[in-house]
Amino acid sequence: MVRSTPTPTDPIDLLAPVRGEVSWFCCGNAWGPCSSTGRGACGTCNSGSLQHAWPNTSDACWSITRPDRCGYSLSRRTCGFRHRTTSLCGGASVVTSIADCGPQTDLFCGERSCCGATCASDRLIDLTPAAYSRIASLSTGLRPCEISTA
C-alpha cells in the first residue's frame, strides 16, 4: 500500500499512481442540500462538468483537509490541474480538472473500501456527479480508486 511509504517530502502523485477512496459531491447551487454549495474554491465548480476536488490546492486548503494526518503528503496542485481517476471496480477511468478543495481526508482516516479483494484506504479525491457517473453509479457513493496525473 502507498499509505505506508510517503513522507512530507515525498509527493506521491508525482512518483506513481496512488490508491485511495473516491466519492462525489455536488456544486454549483443546484437542488436540495446543494442549494447553497456555491462554485467551489476555484469559482468554476459545476455538478455537470468533469471536475474534482483535491486536498492540496493551497495552504488554506491543506489546513482543512490534512491528509498528512492519515499518512499522505499529496502534491500541491492548483485550479485546472488534471488528474485521472480509475475505478478499481471495473477499470473505467475519467480525466478531470481541479475545481475545489477537498475532501476532508483526516475526518475519515483509516476508512477502507473494497471491490472483492481489491481495496483502498482513505479519501483522496472527490468527483463531481458528471465525473463520478463516468466510472460508477452515483448510488455506490464511495469506491476504491487509483489516481494519477493525466
Partner 1 sequence: MTTRRQMLKSALLGGGATVVAATAMGSLGPEAAFAAAPPQPEPGVPDPDFAEGRIRSIRGNTLLVLGSNLVFHRIRVVDGTSLWKLGPVGFDEAKPGDGLYARGIRMPDGILAAESVWLNIVNIKGHVRNITSEKIHLDHNGQDVLCHVVPGKSVAMHSDAPPTADLSLLRVGQHVQILGAWRPDTNEVDIATVFSPH
Which residues would be at the binding site for partner 1 (CB under 8 A)? Answer: 23-26, 28-34, 36-37, 44, 46-51, 80, 82, 87, 89-92, 94-97, 99, 103-104, 107-115, 119, 129-131, 133-142, 150
> Does the N-terminal peptide bond of residue 6 adopt cis geometry, omega within 30 degrees of 0?
no
Q: Mapping DSSP to helix (H, G, I), strand (E, B) and coil, where does residue 59 land?
A: helix
CB of 36 to partner 1, least distance (A): 7
Nearer to partner 1, 8 or 32 (CB): 32
Nearer to partner 1, 20 or 103 (CB): 103
Per DSSP, 130 falls in state: H
How large is the C-alpha radius of gyration of the chain?
A: 14
CB of 39 to partner 1, least distance (A): 11
Nearer to partner 1, 12 or 42 (CB): 42
Sole residue written with cell 508525482: 14
Distance in Å from the first CA to the final CA of the chain:
21
CB of 137 to partner 1, least distance (A): 3
Give the contacts of 39 (CB within 8 A, at least 6 positions apart). Answer: 27, 28, 29, 45, 46, 99
Nearer to partner 1, 4 or 137 (CB): 137
∠ CA 136-44-52, nearest 5°, is 30
d(CA 13, CA 85): 12
**What is the grid cell recorded at 120?**
483502498
CB of 33 to partner 1, least distance (A): 5
Nearer to partner 1, 7 or 135 (CB): 135
CB of 114 to partner 1, least distance (A): 5
